[in-house]
A and B are shown apart, each in its own frame.
Chain A
């Protein structure tokens, strides 16, 4: 071995350069020679890629175009899926009504547990699939490296990588596939940070909670209140990313090198786009939907039994009362506590839980009931708490799967709970100072 090292050093001295540097150069010379003998450039053509990049990567237009594209993607996903969601809800409503008044446990199981639960869960398939569809088109077209190129400087300053952008963006749809998408990030630390802050990207499951509360309390400003949750999530994600990068030993160091190829734009094929949409949608169905459905059933069971007991005396109610002392400082009562507990199973369930707890159904009725139990400040704090407090069960599972470590998964839960509490408390404190 020593002899080999000597040979190596001798050679380096003779050639004036390490072989580690020289050999790639020699190989490229050979590759270049071969290439020159095999390839003829018939003409110098302006390619579609050149033209498109002139627009998409334009110094001034690049970012606005990118933001517009992202907006279009989300708009598309949500507006196109709406009619489907309405139809599905109606269908399940009809199915549920087949059980009549749901007087018996069995009838209730059918109407509230199964139909209610399934209907609730399946409805979200639509925006998710359409979101994946739009993203697959972007992906196949070759635009995504451009997105990373445009956003990298910002990401880099935030201790992240240009490639982190897409997974974080996907988090606005659903954190589960978003965390799966972090596989594109080469560097383990970059990837881990992206996974840890991903749940702060306000996923579509939280939206019903915002809509419910904002609608009940903020009237004309409901839209602004909801938007502020998204902004809050992003701001916290940035903060946490920077914090983790600076403080956690395993995560220290600069983000991985950029060195990104910008391949030619290609026309997406329908077959490939549908394939991708299907594959990702299926993951969501398998992992999330089954857990969500199980969660909905669990909710039904815990809140229906002991059968015939008043709400406070059900298992759910007992649970809520147990948790209440912890959440009282935030202005949350035991019903809010129960709702949050079930929110661990799936954030969408929070709304349904409120309905069951208040004994009412229908958006407006629930809103009215909530309005009687909370103040605007508490409601806003609740929205923030829902945003932050922990990843839903399905996301919890995927974090464990993708990081391969219980340590990081539990860390994610712990820091989020702490952060949620801190933020909600701040909101409540601020609110009481300003409004008394």
Chain B
């Protein structure tokens, strides 16, 4: 099931499907590691309801809700994995065409 990251509650987790939105903002979000395939967890919400703290790739990042809205995630089905949703081919990832640096 696809949701927007801004809709998730503390404790919930999702895997990023895609990032939309205004070019500048989108680029910044991507640069911080919120890319397709990244797992993001909601840690907490600020006392005034906004922004929201997320955990991804081993660090904590906070975003406003209207920024997190641009991130479409697929949430983990709690009881029993959603069938066939895994294994999206993300490509070679490591050393496809160029030479790998090595000593």
Answer whether A and B touch in the complex at a CB cut-off of 8 Å: yes
Which residue numbers of A lie inside 8 Å of B, CB to CB? 17, 20-21, 24-26, 28-30, 32-33, 53, 57-60, 62-63, 145, 149-154, 156, 162, 257-263
Chain B residues whose CB sits within 8 angstroms of the CB of A145 once the complex forms: 62
Report the bound CA distance from A53 to B44 in whole Å. 10
Interface residues of B in 25-64 (CB under 8 A from A): 25-33, 35-38, 44-51, 53, 57, 59-64
Known: A60-B47, A62-B47. A259 touches B19 (CB 8 A): no
Min CB distance, A19 to chain B, in Å?
12
Chain B residues whose CB sits within 8 angstroms of the CB of A262 once the complex forms: 53, 60-62
B50 A260 Cβ-Cβ under 8 A = no
A258 B64 Cβ-Cβ under 8 A = yes
Min CB distance, B28 to chain A, in Å?
6
Chain A residues whose CB sits within 8 angstroms of the CB of B51 once the complex forms: 149, 152-153, 162, 258, 260
Known: A29-B37, A33-B93, A33-B94. A259 touches B44 (CB 8 A): no
Report the bound CA distance from A153 to B45 in whole Å. 11
Known: A258-B62, A260-B61. A150 touches B33 (CB 8 A): no
A28 B35 Cβ-Cβ under 8 A = yes
- What is the size category of the interface that chain B forms with chain A? 35 or more
> Considering the complex of A and B, which 7 residue pairs feature the smallest CB-CB distances, nearest first?
A153-B48, A25-B35, A29-B93, A62-B47, A24-B30, A262-B60, A153-B50
Which residue numbers of B lie inside 8 Å of A, CB to CB? 18-19, 23, 25-33, 35-38, 44-51, 53, 57, 59-64, 67, 90-91, 93-94
Known: A258-B64, A262-B53. A21 touches B32 (CB 8 A): no
What are 7 A-to-B residue pairs whose CB atoms are below 8 Å?
A: A28-B35, A29-B94, A58-B47, A259-B28, A259-B32, A260-B51, A260-B62
Extra pairs beyond A24-B31, A152-B50 (19, CB < 8 Å)? A17-B18, A21-B30, A25-B35, A25-B36, A29-B37, A53-B44, A57-B53, A60-B47, A62-B46, A63-B48, A149-B51, A149-B62, A151-B48, A152-B51, A257-B64, A257-B67, A258-B62, A258-B67, A261-B62
Chain B residues whose CB sits within 8 angstroms of the CB of A62 once the complex forms: 46-47
Report the bound CA distance from A419 to B29 in whole Å. 41
Min CB distance, B22 to chain A, in Å?
10
Report the bound CA distance from A152 to B62 in whole Å. 11
Main secondary structure on A side of the interface with B: helix
Min CB distance, B13 to chain A, in Å?
16
Chain A residues whose CB sits within 8 angstroms of the CB of B23 once the complex forms: 20
B47 A150 Cβ-Cβ under 8 A = yes
A59 B44 Cβ-Cβ under 8 A = yes
Report the bound CA distance from A154 to B64 in whole Å. 12
A156 B32 Cβ-Cβ under 8 A = no
B63 A25 Cβ-Cβ under 8 A = no
Known: A26-B91, A59-B44, A149-B53. A259 touches B37 (CB 8 A): no
Report the bound CA distance from A153 to B27 in whole Å. 23
Report the bound CA distance from A97 to B53 in whole Å. 61
B50 A261 Cβ-Cβ under 8 A = no
Chain A residues whose CB sits within 8 angstroms of the CB of B37 once the complex forms: 25, 29
A261 B61 Cβ-Cβ under 8 A = yes
A162's nearest neighbour on chain B, judged by CB, is: B51
Among A63, A259, A263, contact of B63 (Cβ-Cβ < 8 Å) = A259
Chain B residues whose CB sits within 8 angstroms of the CB of A60 once the complex forms: 47
Chain B residues whose CB sits within 8 angstroms of the CB of A26 once the complex forms: 91, 93
A150 B46 Cβ-Cβ under 8 A = yes
